[in-house]
Amino acid sequence: MQVRGALSLEFTAEGYTHPSGTVGAGTVITWIDKAGYAVAASWAGTYVRASYVGNMQFENPVPVDTRAVVQARVVHTEGPYVHVQARLVMPSLPGADGGPMVCTECLLVYAAEESGYLVDAPAWVPETEAQRMRDEQANSAKVLRTTIEQGMNALPFPEEAGPNDELVKLCFIAGVGETTIGSTIRASAIMRWIDEAAAICAARWSGSENVVAAFAGGVRFLENIEVGNVVTVDALLVHTSPRAMHVALRVYAAQRHERTPKIVAHSLAVMVVPDDGRAQPVRQWEPESEWSASLEAAAVELVRLRSEAGATWTSSQQRGA
């Protein structure tokens, strides 16, 4: 029976999107956004735009030609904002708990709009104990999310890379094929661009083509991108652990005649080089200035906060259906 405020969408990747033969993080994110958007728009009864996409820890890769199901459900509303919990499972593969294998799960926030203005969405009223628990968890997570967003806004990006820095800039025109209603670019397209930039940055630093996201998302959307905008995605290596690379990302957009672009989204990703299911050691990055040391410290703290937010949400889900 279909539950109001919940749905499932099925996907199958028929071609390689990653050198390892698995589905790339950008594709997985696209699938999750499609399900999240559908359930949020259905609940709101109007157009919605992505405001925030929470942390995605990629626990298991999705092999090509494997059936994947994205489950999405409304868990909280506040004014125009619809909070959606989503997860991607692979029904044909058994998980550790005996159920379907889980690839990733996250929280997404969409804002209801009409004619370019925010409008209140219908209120979500929990009816079960599990629904009340998820509603309370989503509401309390706002404080931590605000702290993370403030920290991301404060991260100083360099104008040019230093001799020991790994900075990648992608620049292109936003095309009509990536649009949603109102000639704005879909959130899933922006997240795919972010994943691609992070992967290139990590690949250049590690010297390996086989780079995947272990932790992605945490994307805050600040402004819309319109068709024809000049888009720039900056990916900067800000920290390395023995087996992972932390990449800070910012997305800018401007009309063709504008010289100063505005920041439209930001995120922080953790990339690894996998081999037989285990992340491989990576070359270590060392900050060479007071500026880069402070940037690294801030980025490490942001990853800690985001990991904390993800763990809190996961534990609440495990206690109730």
Yes or no: say if 217 and 256 are a contact pair by the CB < 8 Å rule: no
Is the pLDDT at 1 greater than 50? The verdict is no
pLDDT on residue 28 = 87
Yes or no: say if 21 and 64 are a contact pair by the CB < 8 Å rule: yes
- In the predicted model, what is the mean pLDDT of residues 227-246? 94
- In the predicted model, what is the mean pLDDT of residues 224-239? 94
Q: At a CB cut-off of 8 Å and minimum separation 6, what does 287 contact?
A: 293, 295, 296
SS (H, E, C) 85-131: EEEEEEEEEECCCCCEEEEEEEEEEEEEEECCEECCCCCCCCCCHHH
Across the chain, what does the average pLDDT equal? 85
Q: What percent of the chain has pLDDT over 90?
A: 45
End-to-end CA distance of the chain: 15
CA quadruple 111, 114, 120, 123: dihedral sign? negative
Q: pLDDT, tens digit, for every residue of 111-160?
A: 999 988 899 999 999 999 989 998 988 887 777 677 666 666 666 666 66
Amino acid identity of residue 93, one-letter, is L
Confidence of residue 63 (pLDDT cuts 50, 70, 90): confident
pLDDT on residue 299 = 77
Q: How far apart are CA 156 and CA 170, in angstroms?
A: 18
Q: pLDDT, tens digit, for every residue of 155-180?
A: 666 666 677 889 999 999 999 888 87
Is the pLDDT at 53 greater than 60? The verdict is yes
Enclosing H/E stretch for 197:
helix 187-206
